[in-house]
């Protein structure tokens, strides 16, 4: 709003000095209560404001924002991220990407938002995506592969994200089959791959990547506090999200080129080198039940092979897995 804009101007002219509530209400032409409401509004947008009795308010830090410009400036890819659809707030970047893909958006188009109000995981689960903290991004690819090979792209994306995180932050993350990326055993990234396909051919693959980047503990709702973490929490300092996106796009583009030329072999080897669940005892919870056993590896299609306690080898296409005590 206009008032919000004026408020920011006043603060930025104050160069970090305190401004009294009285002064603000005069400058904005509104009541002290209204000033307070606008201050709360700024806080919700990620501004850190300090209020000190008798002195007034001052801005301590501005939210770290991303835009198409910042992602594109210095981006070293030839197709990924060349076409960017950026929005401040969306329901889900997947939803927009589906629409753009349907309308014919070129391969490499990405959708990025600062906030998702209905970010989604697998099986219609919710992906928590608060404002100005994370990377909420969907990538449109148009590979010439049969639909059954699409899960390979989830694994490919996971490798790219791990490599991109390493490049941007130095942090070495682990992959838990099929789509979780963990730091210190807590989830820092989720990947969701969706298709627009006919029986035998893919029109587009939409890879949704959600990364907790600059979250502090307080950004996570209680039900996530024990299972989720962010790059900033692990690294102990804030991370430039635009640069992180660039690093990840470069890595995924390189892997994708490799994949289209030479197939899944090298991607599979790389994936296995980051995977923590292989060779471990796990419980795989599928829609039809839970199977306990040892994770043997993944097949050339990216399917998990699990040897259950009675010796049977199961092929798991989709599940949540939990590492159990290794006996």
Does residue 164 touch ligand BTX according to CB under 6 A?
no
Q: What is the smallest separation between the CB atom of 68 and ligand BTX, expressed in angstroms?
A: 16
**218: CB partners within 8 A, 6+ apart:** none
**Distance (Å, rounded) from C-alpha 249 to C-alpha 235?**
21
Q: What residue has token string 């296995």?
A: 272
Closer residue to ligand BTX in complex, CB, 13/218: 218
* Phi, then psi, of 6 in degrees rounded to 5: -60, -40
Q: What residue has token string 């198409």?
A: 68
Rg (CA), the chain: 22
Binding mask 89-128 for ligand BTX (x = CB under 6 A): ---xxx---------------------x--xxxx--xxxx
**Looking at 78-86, 222-230, 260-268, 284-292, which segment touches ligand BTX (CB under 6 A)?**
222-230
**Distance (Å, rounded) from C-alpha 284 to C-alpha 316?**
8
Q: What is the smallest separation between the CB atom of 234 and ligand BTX, expressed in angstroms?
A: 13
Closer residue to ligand BTX in complex, CB, 42/139: 139
By CB under 6 A, the residues from 29 to 58 that bind ligand BTX are none
**Looking at 70-78, 166-174, 202-210, 311-319, which segment touches ligand BTX (CB under 6 A)?**
202-210
Does residue 224 touch ligand BTX according to CB under 6 A?
yes
By CB under 6 A, the residues from 227 to 266 that bind ligand BTX are 227-228
State which of residues 137, 157, 249, 304 lies at the interface with ligand BTX (CB under 6 A).
137
Determine whether the annotation assigns residue 116 to a binding site.
Answer: yes
Enter the DSSP assignment of 41.
H
Determine whether the annotation assigns residue 187 to a binding site.
Answer: yes
Do 76 and 246 meet the contact criterion of CB atoms below 8 Å apart?
A: yes
State which of residues 191, 202, 233, 249 lies at the interface with ligand BTX (CB under 6 A).
191
**Distance (Å, rounded) from C-alpha 243 to C-alpha 247?**
6
CA-based end-to-end distance of the chain:
61
**131: CB partners within 8 A, 6+ apart:** 44, 45, 46, 63, 89, 114, 115
Determine whether the annotation assigns residue 122 to a binding site.
Answer: yes
Residues lying near ligand BTX in the complex (CB under 6 A): 92-94, 116, 119-122, 125-129, 136-138, 179, 187, 190-192, 208-210, 212, 224, 227-228
């Amino acid at each position: 709003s206009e008032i919000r804009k004026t408020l920011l101007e006043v603060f930025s002219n104050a160069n970090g000095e305190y401004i009294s509530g009285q002064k603000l209400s005069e400058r904005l032409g509104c009541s002290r209560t209204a000033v307070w409401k606008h201050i709360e509004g700024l806080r919700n947008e990620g501004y850190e404001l300090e209020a000190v009795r008798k002195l007034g308010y001052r801005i301590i830090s501005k939210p770290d924002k991303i835009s198409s410009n910042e992602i594109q400036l210095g981006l070293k890819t030839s197709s990924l991220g060349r076409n960017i659809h950026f929005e401040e707030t969306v329901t889900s970047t997947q939803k927009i990407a589906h629409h753009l893909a349907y309308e014919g958006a070129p391969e490499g188009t990405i959708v990025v938002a600062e906030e998702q109000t209905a970010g989604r995981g697998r099986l219609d689960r919710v992906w928590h995506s608060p404002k100005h903290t994370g990377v909420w991004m969907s990538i449109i690819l148009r590979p010439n592969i049969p639909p059954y090979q699409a899960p390979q792209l989830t694994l490919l994306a996971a490798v790219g994200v791990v490599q991109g995180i390493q490049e941007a932050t130095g942090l070495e993350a682990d992959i838990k089959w099929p789509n979780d990326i963990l730091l210190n055993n807590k989830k820092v990234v989720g990947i969701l791959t969706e298709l627009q396909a006919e029986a035998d051919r893919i029109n587009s693959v939409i890879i949704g990547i959600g990364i907790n980047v600059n979250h502090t503990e307080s950004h996570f709702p209680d039900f996530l506090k024990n299972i989720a973490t962010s790059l900033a929490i692990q690294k102990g300092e804030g991370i430039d999200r635009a640069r992180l996106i660039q690093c990840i796009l470069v890595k995924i583009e390189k892997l994708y080129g490799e994949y289209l030329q030479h197939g899944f072999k090298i991607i599979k080897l790389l994936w296995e080198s980051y995977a923590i669940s292989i060779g471990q005892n796990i419980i795989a919870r599928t829609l039809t039940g839970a199977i306990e056993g040892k994770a043997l590896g993944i097949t050339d299609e990216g399917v998990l092979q699990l040897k259950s306690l009675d010796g049977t080898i199961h092929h798991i296409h989709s599940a949540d897995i939990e590492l159990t005590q290794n006996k």
